[in-house]
Amino acid sequence: MRRAVVVAALLLLPVNPAMGQWTIGLEGGVARFGGSAHDTSNSSGPPRWRPGDVPTIGLRVERGWGGGRFGVALRGSYGKPGLSAIGQGLIVTDKSSGQLIDLATLVAVRVGGIGPSGAVRAEIGPALHLWKFGDDMHSGVGALGALAYEWLVAGRFSGAIRLEGTLSKSWFEEADLPPEYDLGLTWRYGVTLGLRYRL
């Protein structure tokens, strides 16, 4: 968490325009979850519990330098994944029981290009999630990695598509589920599509 705060502070420091370039953008995406909790006793309950699959919307602020080779970004996103019970070939999701705010600090490196204006970037950084489960707010930190393709749309506008994954400890706490459920890692993968504007 301290590293995320330090990187965020560095991102917000004043910078000479010749040394860096700011962009701001909107992102829409979908995410799928796995892991979190599973039944160890073959009880009558669902074999697994996890956050539900969710569409997300987000805001991203980024500063790049080195001719666009490197970048540091802050991203916030919102979704309503709810809670999913997983059985044999059946998934039941209660969308009324969970909201998600996700905050990430990312370091990006250009690793290749496609065409005259397309760039392929690798991104990595910490992600903080705030998950409202019932009346309780759960929080946790995970590791996020992504591979992105960015291209020029027109003028100061560019588009981006990202494939990303996040790994963290279980989003549940011991008191959330009966004792026969074992808490494990929660993983998430998804895709986002964004439109950015260069300031």
Q: What is the CATH number of domain 2-11+21-123+132-198?
A: 2.40.160.20
pTM of the prediction?
0.79
- Take residue 111 and report the two structure tokens written for it: 């690793």
Position with higher pLDDT, 130 vs 7:
130
Extract the runs of DSSP E, i.e. beta strands, from 21-171: 21-39, 48-51, 54-65, 70-79, 83-87, 90-94, 98-114, 118-133, 136-154, 157-168
Q: What is the pLDDT of residues 92-144, one digit of tens each?
A: 888 777 789 999 999 999 998 887 778 999 999 999 999 887 778 889 999 99
Residue 158 has pLDDT above 70, yes or no: yes
Show me where the domains of the chain are located: 2-11+21-123+132-198
What pLDDT is stored for residue 20 in this prediction? 60
Q: Name the token pair of 83.
A: 């809670």
User: CB burial class (10 A; 0-12, 13-18, 19+) of residue 47?
Assistant: middle
CA nearest to 58, candidates 78, 74, 30, 82: 78
Q: b/e map of 70-106 (b: 16 or more CB within 10 Å)?
A: ebbbbbebebebbbbbbeeeeeebeeebbbbebbbbb
CA distance 107 to 65: 12
Closest of 136, 127, 84 to residue 104, by C-alpha: 127
